[in-house]
Structure 1
Amino acid sequence: MKQFFIYISIVLVTFSINAQNPNRIYKSHNEESNVFSVTTNDGKYIFQFYSEAILETTFIPKGETNIKASHAVVMPPEIIETTYKYVGNNITYGSKGLSVTITTEPFQVSYKYKGESIISEKRGYYKNEHQPMDMVNGNIIADSTEKIEFNLTKDEVLYGGGSRALGMNRRGNRLPLFNRAHYGYETESKLMNYTMPIVLSSNKYMIHFDNAPVGYLDLDSKGDNTLTYETISGRKTYQVVAGDSWYDIMDNYTELTGKQPMLPRWALGNFSSRFGYHSQEEVEMTIDKFKEENIPVDAIILDLYWFGKDIKGTMGNLEFHKDSFPNPKQMVQDLKSKNVETILITEPFILTNSKKWNEAVEENILAKDSIGNPAKYDFYFGNTGIIDIYNEKGNAWFKNIYKDLSKLGVTGFWGDLGEPEVHPHWVQHATGSSQEVHNTYGHDWAKLVYEASLEANPELRPFILMRAGYSGSQHYGLIPWSGDVSRSWGGLQSQPEIAIQMAMQGLGYMHSDLGGFAGANLDDELYARWLQYGVFQPIYRPHAQEDVPSEPVFRSEKAKNLASFAIEMRYRMLPYNYHLMAENHIEGKPLMRPLFFEEPDNQELFDYSETYLWGNDILVAPVLEAGKDVQNVYFPKTSYWFNIENDDIIEGGQTKGIQTHPAYIPTYVRAGAFIPLAKSMQSTKEYDANFIQLQYYHHESVEESERDFYFDDGKTVNAIEKEQFQILEFEAEKERRWLEIEFEAENGNNYTTETKTIELVIHNVDKKPKRIKVNKDKVNGTYNEDYKTLTLTVTWNTKEEKEVRIKLSK
């Protein structure tokens, strides 16, 4: 009898944990036109597959209508083969991969991927009193909020929520979904410029809450294994995204919300940037200084002084200030003749004393107050209104600004303060209140700039740098940065985590102001270490307040030399980095990748960001502390790893203390990897795509290895669709004492092939080889006994295959 009562107790506890809202009662279900629906006493569930690994769920409360418009989803639902089962109390509707089960009594919605449980609703949808947070007091205003609540397993690690500095595992936090700048943050920031309603789990699934209005993301803050999405209004829609690997999940999510377009190749070069350049003369002098010092540079960014002499009172002019920039068109042309692109800052605010205020009022392009007048309010830069990009007139007016600037030769735009930085709750836009569009303002602004750029220059890839956006913004080419980080070691320490987390949420180009932005900290060691880290993060852009120079040409000789070495390395890695851009565009792969992508079952790596992968084959351990002589590096167990500077080989599956060097950070290459390098250059415009120094990291543990590298002209829009691309394929195979390396190319139908010179460098060759053959011809190579490398030059017509055979000595 005692055992019976224990059993009943266990059953009751199980029901209390797993049962959903106790007041929700199943009524009926139906499938029609590839949409599965379940009706309850208080509303209706709609389930629709986008693919075999993406399932969208919408709950429509009784008396409400379905809001179909999504701010993020661009993928049309696929018609896929589904299965249906109704056994006992369980109704299961699924694809070959993902399935949803509705338990009719007690009511429950749960999800599985290939038979394994991944997540279930707890209370599901419900509504109750708003519980405001002090950090967003006055920003998120509502009497009640709508929630969707889920069960979590006790051990899963949670990622997501956008850009934050919290440590990789964000479980235990209630996070506001309200884009807001955090000036001068260091190692912790719970709220920053770029929030997203996304949760990823170490159990390999993602949930995207497809809703624009502000709210919260509660990642089990009460410690009761509960995940809650909370919003003031809008859609009760979420997509569950699954996959066999982390890379599958990234690919599936970015297919759902849109892949990042290819950037222009010059975006991978070095930028000259500061707050800010005061005149045309200063711009030209700065670039001339780069040229004099032989430090490569591809672009210069003009901060807000391009439209006015003062920080305050000029925002919204949106045209060159003639006193300071007397001939902007000539300046842009002169910069272009020096292989330097011009990027201009813009903001969505029109000050009431700016040159464009009267025009903005007359053209009816501004957001409104409660009685329909242009909304006006004060912030740091002055008394202002904000452009209503949701108003057709406002959208067209702002687009024309960008088109006119493009006609001057400007090829990149920087969208600043796009949270928007100050956005009172009473401001009304054409499509809703500020609270309804606040988080998506930067997202939709990026779309506007992207479209304007292509309308002005249909054959040039846009470059759009933005401080704020939302889920799916990568589809419009948005390149985010991590805001006004402190110029301190603490500021540097948070950067790998922020970039990796954002990359996992689809924003592969998250980067930082290299050297740090906020504070007058003249620290050469910090500056050098930050720029060394910058070699292996997406955009290379030193930027800071002008009291301490951000450009290496204005730093001490020591700092300048260290920076120059890092920048040189960045440029030499151009063909490898460009392939990472293509992988991101085609498959949604992050450029920076956490090590648990490599070892998905290693729980010790779930909260680890100090070492990461740059692409597939380069392991990077940034030096994040002052005076650090020894850096602890974890080497993934999946490979042996070559020190990129001296070829020391370390077996994976261990953490080792690595002696640091002032000129570079610990960087390793995977055994069996091919790494293509370019010649030294002063600009990506000088890049010689017909020369590749191809490094092959030979190791006895690798019997066979293959790598592909993507090439195109670096500027054509939709080059893949137009078949104006080339993929070079390199394969290495060991057969007894012979090492065979094959070259093969896949050429797009509209790609003009050219003969390439391949300087092949093979590492870890113990002795001088006995024989080397290219196809059937015997050739000589150069063997370096000290470094154990073999170098030979191969001329390759990429219309044909090429084979290199090397007979290794015993």
Structure 2
Amino acid sequence: MGMQIKIELLDGEYWWGGAVADGIRMPFGKQEFNRQLNPALTPNQANPILISNKGRFIWSEEPFDFAYTENLLEIENGKGDIQQGEGYRNLRDVYKVVQAKFFPSAGQLPEPLMFTSPQYNTWIELMYDQEEEKILEYAEAIVANGMPPGILMIDDNWQEDYGVWTFHSGRFKNPKKMVERLHQLGFKVMLWTCPFISPDSAVYRKLLAEDLLLKNEEGTPAIRQWWNGYSAILDLTNENAFAWYKQKLDYLVENYKIDGFKFDAGDPMYYKDSDISTVPTHANGHAEMFAKFGREYRLNEYRACWKMAGEPLGQRLCDKLHSWGENGLGSLIPNGLAQGLMGYAFTCPDMIGGGEYLNFLSNSENLDQELFVRYAQCSALFPMMQFSAAPWRVLDDEHFGYCLEAAKLHERFGNEILHLAKHAATTGEPIIRHMAYVFPEEGLEEVNDQFMLGDEILVAPVVKKGMTERSILFPSGTWQGDDGSMIQGPCQQLVHTPISRLPWYRRERNN
């Protein structure tokens, strides 16, 4: 057992931090809640930071567990020293202090195209059938349907095997030519990769002989079950393993002109504190090493992370269901806001419509076209937006048209989003911001269904089925709507939200 700390909650005190997947439960402090970060077992980003709207913080360099009970925050099971601070004015003040002190910005931006154009992932259309001709068909269809080209991610199973990071010769006749064509169409190209190595393979035997694999406590290679079977894992604390992996990916960059990589898996749940590695660490530390690897490539994406806030890494929310609830569309805003308040500014919601493929099969009767459109609208003014299921295939013309408008809106805001991303790269401030972050005195701590893009743009997507009007909380100021309306805040207003509309408002600056 590590040290235990008990902190009495102040009147009206709300807290954020810990694990991004808990964004739907934030702010903490009103209901009982507990989270284990030692190890962090959620399939998304985490950071050992807790901050409150009353200007208090908790930080440790190592994992800890925490619980909110009636009027108390309890910290226990910490692996290292717990640091506490107080006396800051509000949520924004305390965030900026902890950010500068504990996870300062690296001063670098990921690939700018991630912010200025939509992303497209081949997963839902192709699944494990990642094939040259089908990838080209998908890309050509994006452009033919008037969607803005951007980043194209070729997902899992383009490769020969896990750890054999070469194009599968049966499915790719001329990958170099394929990438050339994708570039001509206006795309930058990413390939899926992970830190796993298929056992019973020549690569496994080579890495075993060179002592580059993670070992379990018995001293034999750790073989772990994950969603695609059982695999060994690279020991990325070993600089030779790091160099081996980098050499494999650099070959793809140099030989095929691949632009970057989607780094999947590497979650703390696939490691154990008892694992033996070249540099001793815990389960979360191995996830951290995998994320450090991604800094080698400007175009990257992660879904699981530990303590890598402030780094130039694209951070996607974990896979969501095709649903309106807390495991689907309802989680995008609260969890996206949580990412920002933990220092992960370069955030992307999950694939539009949800990453669960079963609803998008050609015979699926479960597809909700309204939900798909609202997913696209909710994503449009996030730092990034990502399509996977082809909207022109799964939707009728009307609903596809609304998705196209959302994609074009994102593109239209591209330079403004990029400007905020550059600001985040130097200051660490979130790109999308909690209402209470921008307006700390206005009692907006529990607002989780609208957000600020920077300090000037209020975005209020529809996240409930069948809603053709929604209530928006307007803070102080004059707000000009996407529909031309002018609203004087602070006030609460019911606004008209037909399926064609994503309500957003710009704050008028007094000259």
**TM-score when scaled to structure 1?**
0.58
The whole-number CA distance in structure 1 between the counterparts of 2:9 and 2:293 is 39
The whole-number CA distance in structure 2 between the counterparts of 1:154 and 1:294 is 53
Q: Is the 8 A contact 1:315 1:381 kept in 2?
A: no
Q: Is the 8 A contact 2:53 2:91 kept in 1?
A: no
1:545-567 deviation line (CA, Å, top 9, x unaligned): xxxx3454654322321111111
Partner of 1:429: 277
Partner of 1:365: 212
Q: CA deviation at 1:447?
A: 1.5
Partner of 1:318: 165
Instruction: Give 3-state SS (helix, strand or coil) of 1:146's partner.
Output: coil
Q: Is the 8 A contact 1:552 1:564 kept in 2?
A: no
The whole-number CA distance in structure 1 between the counterparts of 2:33 and 2:454 is 30
- Say which structure, 1 or 2, has more relative contact order (CA 8 Å, 6+ apart): 2
Instruction: Give 3-state SS (helix, strand or coil) of 2:77's partner.
Output: strand
Q: Is the 8 A contact 2:269 2:283 kept in 1?
A: no
Cα distance change of structure 1 residues 304 and 226 upon mapping to structure 2, 3 Å threshold: closer
Amino acid at match of 1:265: P
171-180 or 299-308: bigger deviation: 171-180
Give 2:482's match in structure 1, choosing from 637, 644, 650: 644
CA RMSD in angstroms, aligned pairs only: 2.2
Q: Is the 8 A contact 2:473 2:490 kept in 1?
A: yes
Q: CA deviation at 1:643?
A: 1.2
Give 1:206's match in structure 2, choosing from 42, 49, 57: 57
The whole-number CA distance in structure 1 between the counterparts of 2:437 and 2:71 is 28
Q: Is the 8 A contact 2:450 2:460 kept in 1?
A: yes
Partner of 1:150: 7
Q: CA deviation at 1:358?
A: 1.8
Cα distance change of structure 1 residues 660 and 378 upon mapping to structure 2, 3 Å threshold: closer
Instruction: Give 3-state SS (helix, strand or coil) of 1:318's partner.
Output: strand
Partner of 1:226: 73
Q: Is the 8 A contact 1:621 1:667 kept in 2?
A: yes
Consecutive unaligned residues of structure 2, counting only runs of 5 or more, are 360-365
Q: CA deviation at 1:286?
A: 0.9
Partner of 2:369: 524
146-155 or 441-450: bigger deviation: 146-155
Q: Is the 8 A contact 1:300 1:343 kept in 2?
A: yes
Q: CA deviation at 1:180?
A: 6.0
Amino acid at match of 1:338: L
Give 2:313's match in structure 1, choosing from 472, 475, 478: 478
Partner of 1:623: 462
1:671-723 deviation line (CA, Å, top 9, x unaligned): 13xxxxxxxxxxxxxxxxxxxxxxxxxxxxx2x1xxxxxxxxxxxxxxxxxxx
1:591-627 deviation line (CA, Å, top 9, x unaligned): 1111112331233x11112121111211111100111
Q: Is the 8 A contact 2:118 2:148 kept in 1?
A: yes
The whole-number CA distance in structure 2 between the counterparts of 1:230 and 1:155 is 27
Instruction: Give 3-state SS (helix, strand or coil) of 2:189's partner.
Output: strand
Partner of 1:177: 37
Q: CA deviation at 1:655?
A: 0.7
Q: Is the 8 A contact 2:110 2:314 kept in 1?
A: no
Q: What is the correspondence of 1:783-802 to structure 2 with a 5 Å cutoff?
A: none
Instruction: Give 3-state SS (helix, strand or coil) of 2:314's partner.
Output: strand
The whole-number CA distance in structure 2 between the counterparts of 1:524 and 1:438 is 40
256-265 or 497-506: bigger deviation: 256-265
The whole-number CA distance in structure 2 between the counterparts of 1:659 and 1:649 is 14
Q: Is the 8 A contact 2:148 2:408 kept in 1?
A: yes
The whole-number CA distance in structure 2 between the counterparts of 1:337 and 1:611 is 38
Cα distance change of structure 1 residues 447 and 616 upon mapping to structure 2, 3 Å threshold: same
Q: Is the 8 A contact 2:391 2:403 kept in 1?
A: no
**TM-score when scaled to structure 2?**
0.90
Higher percent of residues as strand? 1
Partner of 2:48: 197
The whole-number CA distance in structure 2 between the counterparts of 1:640 and 1:564 is 30
Cα distance change of structure 1 residues 568 and 379 upon mapping to structure 2, 3 Å threshold: closer
Instruction: Give 3-state SS (helix, strand or coil) of 2:166's partner.
Output: coil
Q: Is the 8 A contact 1:250 1:588 kept in 2?
A: no
Q: CA deviation at 1:441?
A: 2.5
Q: Is the 8 A contact 1:209 1:229 kept in 2?
A: no
Give 2:417's match in structure 1, choosing from 574, 577, 581: 577
The whole-number CA distance in structure 2 between the counterparts of 1:566 and 1:306 is 30
Q: What is the correspondence of 1:214-293 to structure 2 with a 5 Å cutoff?
A: 214-218=63-67, 220-221=68-69, 223-231=70-78, 233=79, 235-238=80-83, 240=85, 243-244=88-89, 246-256=91-101, 257-259=103-105, 261-268=108-115, 269-275=117-123, 277=126, 278-293=130-145
Q: What is the correspondence of 1:11-26 to structure 2 with a 5 Å cutoff?
A: none
Give 1:535's match in structure 2, choosing from 373, 380, 388: 380
1:482-533 deviation line (CA, Å, top 9, x unaligned): 2121110111111101011110111112332222112514111111111011
Partner of 2:474: 635
The whole-number CA distance in structure 2 between the counterparts of 1:550 and 1:178 is 39
Q: CA deviation at 1:165?
A: 4.1
Cα distance change of structure 1 residues 251 and 154 upon mapping to structure 2, 3 Å threshold: closer
Q: What is the correspondence of 1:420-569 to structure 2 with a 5 Å cutoff?
A: 420-432=268-280, 436-451=281-296, 453=297, 462-471=298-307, 473-490=308-325, 491-513=328-350, 514-518=352-356, 519-520=358-359, 521-543=366-388, 549-552=389-392, 555-569=395-409
Consecutive unaligned residues of structure 1, counting only runs of 5 or more, are 1-143, 182-190, 309-313, 454-461, 544-548, 673-701, 705-810
Rg bigger for which structure?
A: 1
Amino acid at match of 1:403: D
Cα distance change of structure 1 residues 421 and 329 upon mapping to structure 2, 3 Å threshold: farther
Cα distance change of structure 1 residues 346 and 656 upon mapping to structure 2, 3 Å threshold: same
The whole-number CA distance in structure 2 between the counterparts of 1:415 and 1:239 is 33
Cα distance change of structure 1 residues 592 and 402 upon mapping to structure 2, 3 Å threshold: same
Q: Is the 8 A contact 1:315 1:354 kept in 2?
A: no
Amino acid at match of 1:204: G
Partner of 1:707: none
Q: Is the 8 A contact 1:154 1:225 kept in 2?
A: no
The whole-number CA distance in structure 1 between the counterparts of 2:183 and 2:174 is 14
1:166 aligns with 2:24: yes
Q: What is the correspondence of 1:624-773 to structure 2 with a 5 Å cutoff?
A: 624-637=463-476, 639-645=477-483, 647-672=484-509, 702=510, 704=511
Give 1:346's match in structure 2, choosing from 193, 200, 205: 193
Aligned residues: 490
Partner of 2:363: none
The whole-number CA distance in structure 1 between the counterparts of 2:44 and 2:150 is 27
The whole-number CA distance in structure 1 between the counterparts of 2:451 and 2:33 is 24
Amino acid at match of 1:542: F
Cα distance change of structure 1 residues 523 and 226 upon mapping to structure 2, 3 Å threshold: closer
Higher percent of residues as helix? 2
Q: CA deviation at 1:440?
A: 2.9
Cα distance change of structure 1 residues 378 and 530 upon mapping to structure 2, 3 Å threshold: closer
Q: CA deviation at 1:587?
A: 1.9
Cα distance change of structure 1 residues 353 and 180 upon mapping to structure 2, 3 Å threshold: farther
The whole-number CA distance in structure 2 between the counterparts of 1:271 and 1:228 is 39
Q: Is the 8 A contact 1:148 1:230 kept in 2?
A: no
Amino acid at match of 1:481: R
Amino acid at match of 1:568: K
Cα distance change of structure 1 residues 286 and 447 upon mapping to structure 2, 3 Å threshold: same
The whole-number CA distance in structure 2 between the counterparts of 1:162 and 1:630 is 32
